[in-house]
Amino acid sequence: MTTQRPTRPAPRRRIGLPALVLCALAVGALAVVGLGAVSMHARVSAQAPTPGLDDVTDDAVAGHRFSLLDFEFGAVFSHWLGDLGAVLSGRHEDGPAADALVQRYFDLRADLAEARAAGRSDAVIARLEAERAAIENRVERILEHRVGEELRRSGFARPLPLFGDQALLWPPVDVELTRPPRVLTVSPRDEIRIARSVLLDPELPLPEMMRVEAAVEADGRWSALVQGIGGLGSYPAIVHDARSYAATVNTIAHEWTHNYLFFYPLGFHFFDSRELRTMNETVANMVGDEIAEALQRAHPAVQPRGSPAADRTESDAALAQLRLDVDTLLAAGRIEDAEALMEAARLQLAELGRNFRRINQAFFAARGVYADTAASSSPIGALLLALRGEADSLAAFIAIVREFDSLAELEAAVRG
């Protein structure tokens, strides 16, 4: 007769002092990041008063504003406490199983788009949405981990002063895959400039978007546009849940860059001038592009279904030329001619597969802060690309530009 030895209980996982200190720091510091994000976006609403615009805008968007404060408080429970649990456990999903889960999530995105386009039943769409919702939190954690690891490999993590073997990526990558708010952008009609921007309800229907625009434009001085965005640099970052895999990881890295730069002069002075805003957005675009490309190489097994990216060479060239022509017409005081040209170009771009609901001064004001894109006529993109070409690494480039608080500093750095 075999005597069965009693089973010893598995030893409890012991959490070392460094991990506890890290967690304590993280809980307090993440709150600071969240409050910083709220403060930062509150400054958008606290732009310099513009006589004749502020009251009109406030009346037009009444009842439709997006509350970043409500979002941040909700994130404390839905994200930060969950992230703390992940830190304590030291576990994360990775490998082929994680690849398969990420691929399934983005395949479901394609399935939903196809089902809606085909007019499938509400029951079919609800089933697809439920399956995607069931795995969304896990996919968020996987993408956070992978983007964070790529940022570490790129040199952004730094050792803690008291724990030399503990390297910290600050702030940690944290993302919520959901519908970002819409944004109302207002520009003067006689120049391309952001005069006002307001975060709006992500579910705002098209007729109401058009009503808001018409109300702002009623006195003939302003150009307005309500449109969706791909993400928002809150904390956790809001990233659109209907984007492709490549666009999603790009946007996660882009919005993380905004959170990172907040702790340095470049990000802290984001709203001080049009040039600084453009520098911030363009730097974030550059980081997003490089990290997304690196992730595609690191995880080639993730190839979700979807339409191949269209060749935008011709339409980008047309959009870039349109921006230059519009700038010239507005500088000559030919406002109506510029607006007629933009509408004609919008129709031509639609024939090239680029569909925009409206192209007006507000359209270019919103997109023009991304100086590495066709919609911008700013020289800042070329300056930043030149500086990136001289830097040994992405982290080395960011270590330089994060200290800038003026365009003059960027220009001086490029001159050497």
Handedness of CA 91, 96, 101, 107 (dihedral sign): positive
For residue 36, pLDDT beyond 60: no
Direct distance between the N- and C-terminal alpha carbons of the chain, in angstroms, rounded to an integer: 85
CA distance 383 to 58: 37
CA distance 180 to 241: 9
Q: Higher pLDDT residue, 167 or 313?
A: 313
User: Using an 8 Å Cβ cutoff, are 334 and 350 in contact?
Assistant: no
Summarize the confidence of residues 176-202 as an average pLDDT: 96
For residue 46, pLDDT beyond 50: no
The pLDDT value recorded for residue 14 is 45
Predicted TM-score of the model (pTM): 0.88
The pLDDT value recorded for residue 9 is 44
The pLDDT value recorded for residue 301 is 82
Closest to 397 in 3D by CA, of 205, 156, 143:
156
**DSSP structure class, residue 271:** G
The pLDDT value recorded for residue 159 is 80
Kindly tell me the number of DSSP H helices and DSSP E strands found in the chain.
Answer: 16, 8
CA distance 416 to 411: 9
The pLDDT value recorded for residue 111 is 94
Q: Where are the alpha helices (DSSP H) in 194-243?
A: 206-217
Give the pair of three-digit tokens for residue 281. 């957005």
pLDDT in tens, 315-373: 999 999 999 999 999 999 999 999 999 999 999 999 999 999 999 999 999 999 999 99
Choose from 44-58, 92-106, 194-208 the range with maximum mean pLDDT: 194-208
Residue-wise burial string across 294-315, b where 16 or more C-beta atoms lie within 10 A, e elsewhere? bbeeebeebebeeeeeeeeeeb
With bands split at pLDDT 50, 70 and 90, how would you rate the model's confidence at 72? confident
Summarize the confidence of residues 58-70 as an average pLDDT: 93
CA distance 57 to 213: 9
The pLDDT value recorded for residue 168 is 86
Summarize the confidence of residues 162-190 as an average pLDDT: 89
For residue 192, pLDDT beyond 70: yes
For residue 85, pLDDT beyond 80: no
CA distance 402 to 318: 33
Window from 28-42, 49-63, 235-249, 304-318 with minimum mean pLDDT: 28-42
The pLDDT value recorded for residue 156 is 95
For residue 11, pLDDT beyond 50: no
The pLDDT value recorded for residue 90 is 56
The pLDDT value recorded for residue 373 is 92
Window from 10-19, 153-162, 328-337 with minimum mean pLDDT: 10-19
CA distance 377 to 278: 11
Window from 40-44, 142-146, 197-201, 285-289 with minimum mean pLDDT: 40-44
The pLDDT value recorded for residue 73 is 79
With bands split at pLDDT 50, 70 and 90, how would you rate the model's confidence at 80? low
Say if residue 24 is exposed, middle or buried (CB neighbours under 10 Å; 0-12, 13-18, 19+): exposed
Q: What is the DSSP string of 4-45?
A: PPPPPPPPPPPPPHHHHHHHHHHHHHHHHHHHHHHHHHHHHH
CA distance 345 to 354: 11
Summarize the confidence of residues 187-194 as an average pLDDT: 97
Helices 274-298 and 394-401 cross at an angle (nearest 10°) of 170
Q: Considering all CA atoms of the chain, what is the largest pairwise distance in Å, rounded to the nearest integer?
A: 102
The pLDDT value recorded for residue 44 is 52
User: Using an 8 Å Cβ cutoff, are 364 and 224 in contact?
Assistant: no
Give the pair of three-digit tokens for residue 112. 């939903």
Give the pair of three-digit tokens for residue 101. 């889960």
The pLDDT value recorded for residue 304 is 80
For residue 2, pLDDT beyond 60: no
The pLDDT value recorded for residue 268 is 93
Residue type, 19: A
**C-alpha to C-alpha distances, 127 to 62, 112, 312, nearest whole angstrom:** 35, 10, 35
- Report the percentage of the chain scoring pLDDT > 70: 82
Residue-wise burial string across 43-56, b where 16 or more C-beta atoms lie within 10 A, e elsewhere? ebeeeeebeebeeb
User: Using an 8 Å Cβ cutoff, are 57 and 197 in contact?
Assistant: no
Summarize the confidence of residues 245-261 as an average pLDDT: 96
For residue 124, pLDDT beyond 70: yes
